[in-house]
Structure 1
Amino acid sequence: MRIFENLNNCAIRRGAAVLLIAAAGVAAMPLASPASPAHGIAIYGEPALPEGFEHLPYANPDAPKGGTIRLAEPGGFDSLKPWILKGNAAWGVGVHVAETLMYRSIDEPFTLYGLLAETVETDPARSWVEFTLRPEARFSDGSPVTVEDVIWSYETLGTVGHPRYLGAWSKVEGIEQTGERSLRITFTEPDRELAMLMGLRPVLKKAQWADGNFGDSSLEPPIGSGAYVVDRVDPGRAITFRRNPDYWGKDLPLNRGLNNFDEIRYDYFGDANAMFEAFKAGEVNIWRELSAQKWDSEYDFPLMAEGKIVKSEIPNERPSGIMGLVMNTRNPIFADWRVRQAMIEAFNFQFINATLNGGKDSRITSYFANSSLAMQPGAAEGRERELLEPFARSLPPGALEGYVLPEGSDQPLDRRALRRAIALLEEAGWTVQGGVLTNDAGRPFSFEILLNQSGSAMRAASEMQQIVDIYIEALRNLGITPRVTMLDAAQYVQRTNNYDFDMTWYERALSLSPGNEQRLYWGKDGVTLPGSRNWMGMNSPAAEAMIDAMLSADTPEAFAAAVRALDRVLTAGRYVIPVGYSPISRLAHSGRLHYPERTPLYGDWPGFLPEVWWQEAEK
């Protein structure tokens, strides 16, 4: 199973400390930006690793090569093109086959080191960025990676690619070749992150796609420059990647200790239960357990007893992100913040957490919980308040004053919360008539909860269903009886891409360096543009302004204040009914699989599994 976020609401640890140290040590200094070609680039200050570093600090350069790792994914796939909106792409193609100019270290808030690019250069204002390709960079067919390939990839992704590429590309003034192996990208506006985002776009082989319709879904294996090639494809059921023995970058210090398996196979299953049964039978090598209760009670099967499967707990220091039930404000019944607050009041997290998870998860209190970027309790102060004040009249209650989720109850019904919910609904024009919540026109308060039968990155479908079942019982006390629709993965993706739902399960990963992707998550264009992450349909000038402030911040302190202010707008907006998260990732895996003792800042995060893992030989 792939990973996104699960975090705890704890004291500031190393990730937060990185930002605080930066604020203390960098805020009074001129911003550090490469004045000449450099090996890496950081959002603030300098990269932690010097030029000529030997390997990433969380990689084992002595890890043995060989073996096969088998991973499980929910649902199915009908495409090998993860860079477009059409189709349901197989997981792993964009990770193992295609490469980017720069590689992100998951041991720093936001730092990139040269991969396809030998060097990166930008001006202090970051109004442009220039990359120089490594002369040895090659696609898997042996052809060189050229500046022409890079420019074609960027222009194509920025115009007909997935919507996630469009926002940043709209800020590009021009892209041009400046030398045999170099290109420069200039920007239309101040944005410190753009120079880095341009280093993270996949570079594709122009000759493979230039004569076709790149925007169409396809099962044609892409030719990439990465460590792996597509080996075998069983459409919808399995995909295997084979390590390329002629991989051009295998001797780069950046890659030492990475890409250790000869084969990486992803098998697809109808639901999480089938995936877990396959893991217990030894058909899958690793399982990411999302339930603390199951972690303690359901791992007594034979392979575990025989010592062939072991448990590992991986800590992390990243923001919690947001996870729970999102309300689509495109539906008029959820357009009123009082209705959304009533829906939150009716969700008794304390009882749900105790019933399904033994009370072990902490609740997500804001979008950036577990980090120094999280909004603080109480009223906004200082720079945060200055940023929010111009929008005071349009901000939802609590954004400036402080917003706190209901405490909940250990009983099935939180009667005090339900009374508050009823009062809010009445203020919004909804009253119970004959046991049914209706408005003045006699229209019932009716909506659909849409669920994916394959589950999500962080929740099994059965757990989602249990959460929703308990929630619906509470809603009945308000005269509300939602209908629940369970769809297969393809139908679910189609409907959510087009925002054809009222309420659904929602998960959004957030990092220690939020930036342009925030527009994709919460920007106004997503109200109508299909395929964005703005499932709630929010159109908030305050949120847009906070994102602008983040992107133009010239010190870590200014950046953190803007993120905290955005956190207030999002959390007080009451768009998501949040659930809980964990301080660790729980991984059960084959005893032959290992990972380095030194875990990165972001923990179990893209770039960790399977990249730095390895397999010991049979004894």
Structure 2
Amino acid sequence: MPFRAQVLLIALGLLCGLGFYSGESAAAQGIAQYGKPKYAEGFAHFEYANPNAPKGGTLTLPNPDRRTSFDKFNPFTLRGVTAPGIGALMFESLAVGSADEVSSVYGLIAEDIQVAPDKMSVSFRIRPEAQFSDGSPILASDVKHSFDTLMSKLANPQYRTIYADVKQAVVVSERVIRFDFKTRNSELPLMVGGLPIFSKNWGVKPDGSVTAFDKITFEHPIGSGPYVIESFRAGKSMIYKRNPNYWGNKVNVRVGFYNFDRIVYKLYSDDAVRLEAFKAGEFDALVEYRAKNWAKSYVGPKFNNGTLIKKAFANHNGAGMQGFAMNLRRPIFQDVRVRKALGYALDFQWLNRQLFFDQYGRINSYYTNSDLSANYRGETVPTEAELKLLKPLQAKYPQHVPEAVFGAMPPPPSTEAPSSLRNNLRKARELLAEAGWTYRDGALRNSKGEIFRFEIVEDGPFFMRILSAYVRNLEKLGIKVEIRTSDYALHQKRMDDYDFDMTTIRFPDTQSPGNELYDRFGSAAAKERGSDNVIGVQSPVVDALIDAIVKAETREQLQAATRSLDRVLWNSYFVVPHWYNPTHRIAFRKEMGYPNPPLYYSAESWILSTWWLQEARK
């Protein structure tokens, strides 16, 4: 998944499953999608945060993703690569999600939230103590400025897609902002609560002139977060220090959070260098994504004597979707039989035995391990609620609703007995032949004699062993494949321009999907440069099912609509599905302390937000 899309989802609170307040319109700090929030008015702190966590010390971390450099501090524009940590440490929102429940949100900058009785608007009252890093108060005019800027063409187009149903932001008074909606959309009150807020003075020069928002690069952000920039070396490191005047330390949703005085990011050129740097003591914690490393490389005297610790924490997140995605804008991938055939060439069982040390499970849905999956608890045949959505769409758009959606969800291809790779490749050849591709003259060719060839692009060598195994099987079908790797910045540009044939995509799980799906799978987003719809899905059925998800007013309606979407996407074979890890693999120094993990979390953000250093290290 593109990094900017991850920043967007985290800023909006989608990874914690935000939702909609279904009760009366009385002002409250917390609202829930269905029913009541877990935490009552006046709660002291989130249960997964330690209110007695010691404060102080420095947390040093490596690249949180595959970025090896950065060229800006502005995470809200399309061009360039943002410095690590900016979004989480320097910007805040009116409200934040809770990580130990599916669908609630609580005021941060806002002291209370009020949904209109007709649910066509929501108002937020800003805390009087809330202020930006320059000491200026956060006003409703700053919130309106943030919204208007992010909705302009100067910002990442993903915001315009996400907030398309927001009519306007209205300054009601100095500390009250109201968002009006175009339609009754069950997610919008929470979505606007997650809007990242920045000062209208960000980009204003001493002489009063203003830098255009899309030209803001290394101007220090004026946000309200707990940290400010101490120093940086572009391409090398990024250092934050605690804002001594941070306004939010006593707000209940911040108690026990952000316990370090300084946070340092060191950027390493590749995984091997980063791992050796950790063993040498250059940073404090490392999240490991490579099965071989976890099985073989976290060994040695420091692990034996307890100086370094490796621990697998339970992962209750849904698996989301990760896989080799085909660019539907390319003619060779527009036939569903071709796309299905390419899935038969991936031998997951061999990969899991030989490369993954049997650490992974197989992705079998766009919502694997979630109650939103069409495979949930083995209930693979559509329910009556799903059929009420799917049948009318099939009647209206028969070419966009595969007949297979009305049966059991097909499992991904397997090479376990009684099946085998040979049988799977035979099935692939049959599908390719049906689509007009046959093997002759040493290659797979169409009726014009053109060779079936494509390129797989990646943002580094991370998947090379996996890709090599996959390509070997594709070559047995007569397909010519070239693997091309590039640095993060160049790869991101190619994704923004949709300049690829096949690439790895990662769609993180959310327990409450909604407006972000327009950007991920919506037809309009497929034509918008820099959207999350890198696959290029353009389907009126998918659009209609996203509408149903967004308009769902009960959890049951959301489940039916999401499972229906899952069926359509899965049976369209847009992606060759990968695998998932049922744990978070974290290695860390013994001086690190941590609370009990929440229900839903990413390992990096958990370390950053709620871990601490024991007194001995300070």
> TM over 0.5: same fold?
yes
Size of the alignment, in residue pairs?
588
Match of 1:404 among 402, 411, 433: 411
Matches within 5 A, 1:337-416: 337-376=336-375, 377-392=379-394, 393=398, 394-402=400-408, 403-409=410-416, 414-416=421-423
- In the alignment, which residue of structure 1 is the partner of 2:494? 495
1:310 equivalent in alignment to 2:309: yes
The residue that corresponds to 1:504 in the other structure is 503
CA distance in 1, matches of 2:420, 2:559: 38
Q: Please, what is the CA RMSD of the aligned residues?
A: 2.2
User: Offset of 1:124 from its aligned partner?
Assistant: 4.5
1:253 partner letter:
N
- Given that 2:126 and 2:176 are in contact with CA atoms closer than 8 Å, whether structure 1 keeps it comes out as yes
Q: Is contact 1:384-1:564 (8 Å) kept?
A: yes
CA distance in 2, matches of 1:469, 1:348: 12
| Deviation, structure 1 residue 34 | 4.3
**Alpha-carbon offset, residue 140 of structure 1:** 1.2
- Name the amino acid aligned to 1:261: F
Q: Find the aligned partners of 1:133 and 1:522 in 2 and give their Cα distance.
A: 34
- Letter of the 2:611 counterpart: W
Task: Give structure 2 stretches of 5+ with no counterpart.
Answer: 6-16, 205-209
Alpha-carbon distance, 1:125 to partner: 4.3
Give the equivalent residue in structure 1 for 2:524.
525
Secondary structure, counterpart of 1:357 in structure 2: coil
Cα displacement (A) at 1:615? 0.4
Aligned partner (choices 52, 55, 59) of residue 62 of structure 1: 52
> Please, which of 158, 162, 165 is the counterpart of residue 168 of structure 1?
162
SS at 2:266's partner residue? strand
How much does 1:141 deviate?
1.3
SS at 2:405 equivalent: coil
**405-414 vs 223-232, which moves further:** 405-414
Partner of 2:600: 602
Q: In the alignment, what sits opposite 2:8? A: none
Distance 2:607 2:417 in 1: 37
Which moves more between the two structures, 552-561 or 312-321? 312-321
Residues 249 and 588 from structure 1, CA distance in 2 versus in 1: closer, same or farther, beyond 3 angstroms? Answer: same
Distance 2:418 2:389 in 1: 41
1:101-112 superposed matches below 5 A: 101-112=94-105
Pair 1:53 & 2:43 matched? yes
Cα deviation code 1:157-203 (max 9, x no counterpart):
11132122112332122221112210111100121111101011111
In structure 1, list runs of 5 or more residues that go unmatched: 6-17, 23-29, 454-460
Kindly indicate whether the alpha-carbon contact (under 8 Å) linking 2:29 and 2:106 is maintained by their aligned counterparts in 1.
yes
- The residue type paired with residue 480 of structure 2 is T
Whole-angstrom distance in 1 between the partners of 2:330 and 2:126: 49
Distance 2:175 2:384 in 1: 47
Matches within 5 A, 1:39-438: 39-73=29-63, 74=66, 75-159=68-152, 160-209=154-203, 211-376=210-375, 377-392=379-394, 393=398, 394-402=400-408, 403-409=410-416, 414-438=421-445
8 A Cα contact 1:342 1:421, kept in partner: yes
Specify the code of the residue in structure 2 equivalent to 1:387: L
The amino acid that maps onto 1:418 is: L
Distance, in Å, in 1 between the alignment partners of 2:126 and 2:193 is 11
The one-letter code matched in structure 1 to 2:157 is P
Matching residue within 455, 458, 464 for 1:451 = 458
**Equivalent-residue separation in structure 1 for 2:419 and 2:411 (angstroms):** 21
Per-residue CA deviations over 1:410-448 (Å, capped at 9, x if unaligned) read 899700000000000000010011120010011110100
Deviates more, 1:267-276 or 1:55-64: 267-276
How many Å apart are 1:301 and its aligned residue? Answer: 2.6
Contact 2:298 2:310 in 1 (8 A): no
Contact map agreement 2:287 2:604 (CA 8 A) in 1: no
Query: Quick one: structure 1 residues 410 and 487, their matched pair in 2 at CA, closer, same or farther if it must change by over 3 Å?
Result: farther
Per-residue CA deviations over 1:523-542 (Å, capped at 9, x if unaligned) read 11222211111111111211
Task: Note the 1:533-572 alignment, pairs <5 A.
Answer: 533-572=532-571
Q: Which secondary structure does the structure 1 equivalent of 2:202 belong to?
A: helix
| 1:232-259 per-position Cα deviation (integer Å, ceiling 9, x unaligned) | 1111211111011210111112211111
Which residue type is aligned with residue 326 of structure 2?
M
> Which sits farther off after the overlay, 587-596 or 397-406?
397-406
Does the aligned pair in 2 maintain the 1:34–1:121 contact within 8 Å? Answer: no
In the alignment, residue 245 of structure 1 is paired with which amino acid? P
Identity of aligned residues (%): 36
Are residues 116 and 282 of structure 1, via their aligned partners in 2, closer, same or farther at CA, if it must alter by over 3 Å? Answer: same
474 and 413 in structure 1: CA distance in 2 versus 1, 3 angstrom threshold: farther
Q: Which moved more, 1:105-114 or 1:435-444?
A: 105-114
- Counterparts in 2 of 1:508 and 1:603: CA distance versus 1, 3 Å: same
Contact 1:86–1:217 (Cα < 8 Å) also in 2: no
Return the structure number with greater relative CO, CA threshold 8 A, min gap 6.
Answer: 1
Query: Normalising by the residue count of structure 2, what TM-score does the alignment of the two structures yield?
Result: 0.92
| C-alpha separation in 1, matches of 2:182 and 2:29 | 25
Deviations 1:504-528 (A, max 9, x none): 1111112111110011111112222
Offset of residue 155 of structure 1: 0.5
Q: Which amino acid letter does the alignment assign opposite residue 436 of structure 1?
A: A
Contact 2:155 2:214 in 1 (8 A): yes
Q: Is the 8 A contact 2:203 2:219 kept in 1?
A: no
User: What TM-score do you get using the length of structure 1 for normalisation?
Assistant: 0.91
Separation in structure 2 between the aligned mates of residue 321 and residue 98 of structure 1, nearest angstrom: 26
> Per-residue displacement from partner, 1:334-356 (whole Å, max 9, x unpaired)?
01110000000111111111111
Aligned-partner Cα distance in 2 for 1:232–1:34? 48
Instruction: Provide the rounded CA distance (Å) in 2 between the counterparts of 1:169 and 1:517.
Output: 9
User: Alpha-carbon deviation of 1:31?
Assistant: 7.1
SS in 2 for 1:500: coil
User: Could you list the per-position Cα deviations for residues 388-412 of structure 1 after superposition, in whole angstroms to 9, with x for gaps in the alignment?
Assistant: 1123222134222232211224899
The one-letter code matched in structure 2 to 1:300 is V
